[in-house]
Amino acid sequence: MNTAFTEKELNENYLFLTQLAKTFPTVEYAMTEIVNLSSILALPKPTEHFMSDLHGQGDAFEHILNNASGVIRREIERLFVDRLSFDERETLATIVYYPKQKIKLELENVEDTDAWYKATLRNLIVLGRKISSKYTRSRLRKTLDPRFSYIIEELLTARVNFHDLDGYYDEIFDSIIRHDYAERVIVALTDAIKKLAVDKLHIVGDIYDRGTEPHRILDLLLKHPSVDIQWGNHDILWMGAALGEKTCIAGVLTNSFRHGNLDLIENVYGINLRHLLMFAQSTYKSALHFRPRKTSSEAYYDNPEVNIRAKLHKAIFVIMHKLEGQLIMRNPNYKLDHRLFLDTIDRVNSTVTIDGITYPIKDADFPTINPDDPYTLADEEETIINELRDSFLNSPTLQKHIKFFIDKGELYRIENNNLMFHALVPLNEDGSFKAVDFGDGVPRSGKQMFDYIDAEVKRLYFAEPSMRKTHELDLMWYLWCGPDSPLFGKNKMTTFERVEIDDSKSHKEKRNAYYKYQDTKDLAIRILNEFGITDTDRAVIVNGHIPVEKINGENPIKAGGSLIVIDGGFSKYYQKTTGIAGYTLVYDSRGLYIVAHEPFVSFEKAIRENMDIHSTTEVENILATKGQMRVSDCDKGVELREQIRQLEMLIAAFECGLIKENNRYRMVKVPLNNR
C-alpha cells in the first residue's frame, strides 16, 4: 500500500479522485500515465522566443516566423555542412520557409523530378528528426497535418538502428511520389518543422501602428499554436478604439493617416471615412504640413491622393485634440492640465503657448476651433466621431483581432522565471514605486497597479457597449499616453508639437525615472520581488518600448543581466536609430541569448535568390545554466509533478479500497497535461 498519503488526505480529495478514476480506472492505467509524465520531465526544455515592437512590419515578421529567428538555418548548417554545398543548404532553408513557391521554382530546372523529391524529402526528414527530438510522440502528432500525420510521424520516429532504414524510406518516398503526394507531404513536413522549432512565442507589445500590416501579423498569430501577448501602448490605443472610446478612435486614425495607412482603415477594417473625407475637403483649404510622413511638398500639390490624406489627417487631428481636452478636464486626477493649449492658439499671429512658452506654428487655419469654447466639437465633427464609433464597434475583422488581444493578452506575464511587460513600472524620482490613482480614488503601485489595470481592461471588454461608462473608458486613452501609465512612461506625448512646431525642444518627452534606474541591479531585484519572483539569480525582466540604440553602442542587457530590452527596431521607422532590424530573445535548453536581425529585403528575393534575414547571436549565456535545462526545470515541470502526485494519490486510494478499480470502464478523455 502507498503510505505517502494519510487517510485524511484521501478522504478530503475523494470527489476529485473519483473523477480522476474515470480517466485512469485502474492502478495500471494510472501507473502508465505516471511513467509518461516522468518521461516528459526528462526531455530538453522547449524553445521560447520573445519579440516586441513589431509595429505593422508584416513581411519581416512572417519571414522571422518562417526561419524561427535563424534557428532553422543554424540547424541546417550543423546537420548538412559536410553533406550539402552552400547553395544546396540555402535552397533547403528556403524550401522550409516557402515550400510551395520554392518547389515550383526549383522544378523548372530539374530533369529528374522523382530524384529531386526523394533528396528533398530525405533532407527534410533529417532536419525534422533533429528539431522534433525534444518532444514526445503525442506532442509531435498534435503538430502534424491530420491528413499526413501517420506517414510523417513514421518518417520522423523510425528507429535509427533499423537494419535497412534507407530502403524503408525509399519505399515510403516511392509511394508518396507515385500517388502525386510529394509536394503536399513536403509542405506538411516543413509546416511541422517551423512549428516545432519554437515551442512558445511571447510578443512583448506593440503590434500596431507605423507599419502597414498589423492585420497580417495578427492573422499569422491567430494560427500560431502557442503565443501570448503583453499589451503595448499602441495596442491599447486600438483596443480602446474597438471598445468605442472616441479619443482612442481619433488617435488611431491620426496615427494611421500620419503614416499613410489608409488601406488598413478602409479596406481591412471596413471603417467608413466618407463623411470625414467630405468634411475635410470642404473645411480645410490647406493641409500641407499634415501630409503623410515621407511625402514631399511637391507630392502634396501634384498628387491628389497625398492632398486628400493630408486633409483627412488635419480634420481628425483637430477632433482628437478637442476630445483629449474634454477627457483631461473630466479627469482632474490625471493631472494633465498642462496639455490644454487649444485655447492659446493665436490664429492671427500663428502661435501657440505650451508650458508657458509661445511658439510659432506652421498652420493656424483651424476654422472649427471656437476661441471662446475651443474643446467643444462642431456639430458636424460630433456627427462624424459618432459615425466612426459605430463603424469601429461593428467592424468584424477589428473585433476579431481585439478579441485575440484579450484571449491571449495581458498587461504582464510570468513564465519560467521571466517577467514580461512592455514598458515600465512607474517610479518616483527617488526610485520608489509610484502610486497612481486611475480614477477610482485608490492609489496603486507596482504589481497591484498592473493587476488592477489588467482586470479593468478585461472588464471593459466583456461589458455590454451600453454599460461602458465614459469615465471608465477614459482609462484606455490614459494608458496610451498618460505620464504615469505603465505602458508609456513619459511626461507628455508631443503629437501636436511634432506636426506644428519646428523648434525641436518642444518635441522633448521626459522619461519616467524607471529609465534612470533601469540599468541598476537593485531596481531589477525589487521589481522581481514585487511580482513574487524570489529566485532572482535565475530571473530576467523582458521589456520593449524604447528602441536600443545599438548603432551608438547601447547594450540591450541591463542591470547585470537581470533586465533585457528587446526593441531592436523591427519597424523600418526605427532602423536608423538602432542600426539593426530587431531582436529575438531566445530561451532554450542551452540558456538565454539574444539574436539580432538584419533588414528583410523582399519575398521575391527571399524565394528566388535564397536571401534570408541574417540573424547573428548578439549575446550568449545571459543566464548561466548547469548543463542542459529540462522540462523538469520549467513551470511545466511543476505542473507535471503535481499531476504525478495526484495520480499517486489515486493509486493509494485504489490500494486502500477507498475507490474501486474498474477494469471494464474507461472514459476517453484528453490527458491532464498538454504535451
**pLDDT tens sequence across 415-431:** 999 999 999 999 999 99
pLDDT value at 454 more than 60: yes
* pLDDT value of residue 582: 87
- Average pLDDT of the residues in 176-190: 94
Number of separate domains in the chain: 1
pLDDT value, residue 154:
87
Residue 239 lies inside a defined structural domain of this protein: no
The 3-state secondary structure of 484-540 reads CCCCCCECCCCHHHHHHCCCHHHHCCCECCHHHHCCCHHHHHHHHHHCCCCCHHHCE
d(CA 78, CA 309): 51
pLDDT at 160: 60
What residues contact 85, with CB distance under 8 A and at least 6 apart? none
Rounded CA separation 594/548 (Å):
13
Distance (Å, rounded) from C-alpha 333 to C-alpha 16? 49
Q: In which band, very low, low, confident or very high, does the pLDDT at 674 lie, cut at 50, 70 and 90?
A: very low
The pLDDT of residue 273 is: 98
Residues 255, 257: Cα–Cα separation, whole Å:
6
What would the grid cell of residue 291 be? 501630409
C-alpha cell belonging to residue 234: 499602441
Does 583 reside within a domain?
A: yes
**pLDDT tens figures, 110-130:** 999 999 999 999 999 999 999
Q: How far apart are CA 614 and CA 599, in angstroms?
A: 8
pLDDT in tens, 143-174: 888 998 888 998 888 776 566 777 888 899 99
Q: What pLDDT, on the 0 to 100 scale, is given for residue 670?
A: 43
How high is the pLDDT of residue 613?
Answer: 76
Given a contact cutoff of 8 angstroms between Cβ atoms, the answer to whether 509 and 502 are in contact is no
74 domain-assigned:
yes
Let me know if 466 is exposed, middle or buried by CB neighbors in 10 A (0-12, 13-18, 19+): exposed
H or E element, residue 115: helix 113-131
Alpha helices by DSSP H, 532-594: 575-578
The single residue listed with the C-alpha cell 521575391 is 604
Specify if 23 maps to a domain: no
State residue 620's pLDDT score: 64
The CA distance from 297 to 303, in Å, is 10
φ and ψ at 40, to 5 degrees?
-65, -40
pLDDT at 563 over 80: yes
Residue 52 within a domain: yes
**pLDDT tens by residue, 513-552:** 999 999 999 999 999 999 999 999 999 999 999 999 988 9
β-strand pairing of 563-565 with 540-543: parallel
Alpha-carbon distance of 628 to 76, in angstroms, equals 21
Residue 188 lies in a domain: yes
Region of 293 please: left (phi>0), alpha (psi -120 to 50) or beta: beta
- Kindly tell me if the per-residue pLDDT of 627 is higher than 90: no
> Per DSSP, what are the bridge partners of residue 353?
358
pLDDT band with cut points at 50, 70 and 90 for residue 665: low
Q: Mean pLDDT across the chain, nearest whole number?
A: 93
Predicted pLDDT of residue 675: 42
Say if CB 322 and CB 374 are below 8 A apart: yes
The predicted-structure confidence for 45-96, as pLDDT tens digits, reads as follows 999 999 999 999 999 999 999 999 989 999 999 999 999 999 999 999 999 9
Q: Residue 647 falls within a domain, yes or no?
A: no
* C-alpha cell read off for 249: 478612435
pLDDT band for 292, please (50, 70, 90 cuts): very high
Alpha carbon 33 to its chain centroid, in Å, reads 34
Percent of the chain with pLDDT over 90: 79
Q: Of 159-163, 285-289, 523-527, 652-656, which range is least confident? A: 159-163
73 part of a folded domain: yes
Range of the domain at 580: 48-204+544-629
Which pLDDT does position 148 carry in this prediction? 86
Helices (H), 45-112: 58-67, 71-80, 86-97, 99-107
Please give the model's pTM, rounded to 2 decimal places: 0.93
